[in-house]
Structure 1
Amino acid sequence: MKLPLKLNTIFARMLIFNMAMIIMATIIPQAVFFNFFTKTYDDNAKAYNTKNALEIRNYVDETVVEKVVNLPNVYFSQLQSNDDLVFPMENDIRNTPSRILTISQKIFNITSSMDFLDSIDVYYRAGEVLFINSNVHFIQDVETGNDYAFEWISKYRDAASERSWFVNETVKTGAERNVTAYKRNIPYNVSNQESKAIVVINIKQDFLNKFIKNMNLQQEEVMLIVNKEGEIVAHQDSSKIGASIADTALGRFVLQSEMSGNKDLKSEGELVTVSYVKSGYNDWKYVSVLSIESIHNKNRQMMLYILTLCIILLVVNLTMSFVFTKGAYQPFGVVLDRIRKLSAVFRGEENTLAQNEYQMLEGTIHNLAGNIHSLSEKLEANKPIIHHDAISRLILGKTNLDEVKDIERLAGLSFTGSYIFTFIIQIYSDTGLGYENRMLVNYSIVQELGMKREGLQVESISEDDRTIVGFVNFELLEDKKNICGQLQAAIESAVNTKFAFCIGGTYPRTGDAIFKSYKEAQECCKYMYFMPHKRIFAYEDLCVSPKHDLENPVKLLNRLEDAIRSGKDTDFSTLLDSIVEDLMTGFYHMDDGMYILNSIVSGIKKTLIGLDMNEWDTFGFDLREQMQEIGNIADFRMWMNDVFQVLCLKRQNTKKSMINNELEQKIITYIDENIYNNLSLENVSKALNISASYLSRNFRALIGMGFSEYLSEKKMQCAAKLLYESDRTVKEIASQLGYNSIQHFIKLFKERYVLTPKEYQKKMRGDIRDMKGDDAE
């Protein structure tokens, strides 16, 4: 007997229902689970990658790059202590062997003081003299002599720009070795032809690679440093150093973006997640690459297994449904017949049922219309939030201009101009206003900026109670200056309080133009610290224009440190004013300015250490931490004057009496004249007619170090001089200086000059013979 048609329909529905239940119970949960697992893993991989990139950036920047970039400022600026290295910039030293020897020794000492340096090369234009790793070459002899010196001249003097980094360079003095080189003209901002000197600092390539190798990286992880051309500066695989990634998917992502980024991409046929951050001192980018191919393959394999299981269950379900339904069709058919008979009884009520169904449908449509209207009202009420979110995402680079087209109408945005730039407004509201009142100030500025202006679209939002960010879309590039003036006038009309208006660069209205301009506006904000009385900070004026060398501030800084050590508050205040006023001109790079201010704080800290004084006991706070709380350079000046006054007062209390410069000079002169005699605190005090206890208490305050430490330093200086000027043996020199143990003398000498006395003597004698040989030729 065949099943009735309706029974067949019920059977089909039951079968489809069972299949749907199996799909919902298996395929959908596993798809959701694996998508969630994959996303969580990817997010964790990105976070881990970013942490590693930041870790290597912080270490290399602070340990190597910062010191390398500042080295010319420290040792080749116009300071009295740098006279030996600065003198040849104006004078020909070719016929002065003693000068050449001194410079060679100075370069050697600087190189030895930093374990990451391979060598330092210096070219002096005045005398056409080149020092390569402290070995001297005369340029007139280079073309027919040393091939490496000729190569050096061609690369660094004649071709390279005034400030450049070089990857995978080969140093050919002694055993050949690979270095990363930093080239810098002296003065800072002049061309090669106008420079007085050229300094090339060679960093040991192995130093950078060793740090990466010691990071305990995962097997699938790669760390590298690349420059703006895409050349690999450092890599755990040293064979890849110098290779270019510019034409790879990895290189295109890292090089086209600016400060930092995260992305999943295919690299060498493998799915990887990439994170990078930019150096704070040069154009390097620190990149971490982690393979996620294997985990994704395992996910796909597991999903395939579960899908196969689902198909098997569906086949079983189909079979069992058919068997069970076929066996039960007769009783089920009887039930259906009785249901049909009962339906005839109620057939007279069909019209009433139809009417009820119509009323239900009408009610459903009415409710649906009401819901749509309610949603429309909610959407209208939330438009400000949508508008705020859209602007925020554009500025922070989470959405670009190409993607925002789909929500322009919804967000109330309309981009019609050809160009765009971003701005940041910092409000200096009185802290006593309270949070709500400060926000009202911000809202009034946002409202004023949002007023309609012909040919101009201004969008802005309040980032916090003191900061407003926004962008301007306009048509003609030459109108930017006038537009900025309009916006400044709008801000001034909205509030009567101090503010700073930081403006990023201008870009065509495409892609991530808003985000790029925003990052530049952030750079401008950094200069607010050094120019607290200025209102408008334009990226083109501050960050693109050439910056001055630190020669003058460093010179003032050296004198300021002398004033700190001597405790002369008048000199300190005058010199501090000169430094601050110089930095407030905006002629110096922000990083260089912060270097000078940090050096001033370091001078105070060093003086405290020299006087055996503690920061917390003296001031009640840590100087470095307190400096972070200072809002601008004018406040820094007032704070530092207060700090120095406290230091002077504490020092006077420690000394218990004023100790004049005459006594200090007498001590230094007596020790210099009697360095080969048996000096002690007692016989020095006796010669100067003061008590030994008084001298002991005040020696550190006068000289800046203890008596034994100062005497040892003076003896080491004399020993070095005797080693290269006399024919005496190490034992004779040690005995002459009062050392009974030659081993103790050698240990102290090596701690001071890195070399043993014999090694030092051989090196210096060898250099002298080389120069005499050159003169004879």
Structure 2
Amino acid sequence: MKDFKRKLIIYNIIVVLAVFIVFIVIQGFYSFGVYKEARIRDYIKMMDQLKEGVDHQLAYQVEQVPNRLLNNTEVRESVYNDYQWTSVRIFRMKDIITNFLTESKYITGLDIYYHQDDIAFLSGSYKKIENYNSKPYIDWIYNVQDFNQERNWIATRYYEPMEQEVASCVVNIPFLPSTLKGKIALHLDMDELQNYAENFIDGIGQVRIINTFGQNITGEAKDNELIIEALENDEHYFEYQAEEKRITFIRESQVNNWVYVYDLPRDEVYNLKSFVVGNGVMGILFITLTAITTTFINLIIYGPIKQIFSLVDRIPIEMPEEQAALDTDIIKSKLTKLVNTYDQLETDVKMNKQIISGYHLKGFMRGKYTYQDILDTGYIDFNYETGFCTAIQLRDTHSQEQSRQLLNAIRDTLNQDFNSYACYSALDGDIIYALFCVLDKYVVPANTVKRTLLHLNIEDLVYVGIGKSFDFKSDSVIDSYSAAKNALKYAFIMPEMTYFDAEKEKYDDYKTTGSRDFIINNLEKSLLLCDYDACELELARIFHALHYGKYHIHYCTNTCYEVCSTIRRACGQLGYGLDQHLQYDLRDSIYTIKNINELEIKLKNIIYNSLITISNEMKTTYNSGNELRLTIEKIIHDNLFNDISLQFIADSVEMRYDTLSRNFQSIMGCTYSKYIKKIKLDKSVELLAQNKYTVKDIASLLGYNSTHYFIQVFKKHYGMTPKKYQEIELQAEE
């Protein structure tokens, strides 16, 4: 037995070590690939954040700045009227533009230009305006490739009027006629934009911006041709030759023709030597620990094995095989039942503990329990100084059962201890509320959440609202909980984003008022005119403003509610009961739609289908256009001596005034005024031939306020006065 004991230990150690070494080698190769891919993915995510951040600033400046400037009544009237003159009266706007540029962080200069009859009237840079005749050299006019294009981007260059390096964006003046080719040039401060871009980069390296033509926007030009080639191949990064040991990440802007570039040493992204050394040390430690553990386990199991051999030696040789098999089956059945009972008990304990801990966690975040109350329960142990709350919601719409399963899986995955922080989560309806507990009070909450979701590979599945940091012993957790919950609501108007950081964005300071009434009124007018293209344009303007205008979520939801109410009301005025056709109140859509992109598409479809139905119903009111024409002719002839009007005719044929006015010429062959004039003149000839009425009486019967005016109209049409016409007719009869 002693030889057996020694051989058992040696053989087990050799087998376990061999298997473990092979596993370490294979796992090392695989882990390095995963490590490299994860590191590159981290930097790509960082570049995505840089792109989204700078794009957001650019979109806000380009879309909002011209509208904000031109909303100023004095500036708007001046720009609108100045193009009619041979000189530019821009001097009076200098103070207005100066104050406006002082408020704009990324815009350092602004030009206004419009063109008519090949003569250019130029506002010039406000810093160079001294008198009406001041016309400094403006290079951006000649760099605009297509004057009909809504937006043109011009690369960084030395701009003579401003005496500094700028990049420019040239946009249309929205309210001028297209023939004037009105343009506004926004000159961007590239130093400020460069500083803003560098805030998104965590580490060393060079951040710069170029355009898709290889021209430099910010930073020093370097290997721009390689960058453009990689961009054309749809690559997010590329590595240089081995001796250079650098890697460059690139992302293309969604707003303009810019390309964001981040160049850094390859060792900052991934380091093979450090990875091999680290894994080698850990492998040696694990091998040593495995050898010791295997020896210890063999020493422990040697006693039971010895007892088994003793029992085997005492089994009677003459025992029937049937009895032995029966005894073995009984033992197996009892052991199986015992194991199943234990597994079920363990599952129940885990489930009950999770339910209880989730209940206490939600109560703590809502202010129902104090920090000490949570510690006393024993279900949750906070051994940390600070923390912050998050609210997590699924991005895509699933069935109720699928959503529940996915939310439970995410909640269970979040409940664990990480290296320097821990996460506790609870499910409330369709939202997961998570409490992150961190050791370092200076840690940035957004970075911790992003690192966690990326590690768990669930970043693309959810929206995340991030609350403010707080101290467990002195601060209230409810402020962080409320901030995270409110921040998550902004996923409704910004569905392309993942993280909504209340501390960074300061959502409570977002605007609560705007100029929505003007656009909504235009939408209602377009609906009443049955103009789908105009309706589509006004809807696009509303939702674009909500997306980029930094409006408070309550203002956004109220605006969506008002838009739905306007559509519902306008359809009612057109005689189309929208609620009856939809089988629900359109205003309830804002509570069932996931985001404003889906709401915009739904409203466009509803408007289109409603206008088609209204048009078809109008056509079926009369079997043909000829029937409608005859009906209108009869109404006019029967009421020619009365105070007839287009509104009276519309009411008689049960048609809206604006619909009849728009379609009168196609029905009757001419406009309403020309048709009435012709009918009255024909009737006057008939009355003159009867020789029963004077010219004055006929003018009065036909509704002319002045006999002189009636004579002028008659003479213009027939080439003679009514009296002369009557005399000729009488002579012909004789």
TM norm structure 1: 0.36
Larger Rg: 2
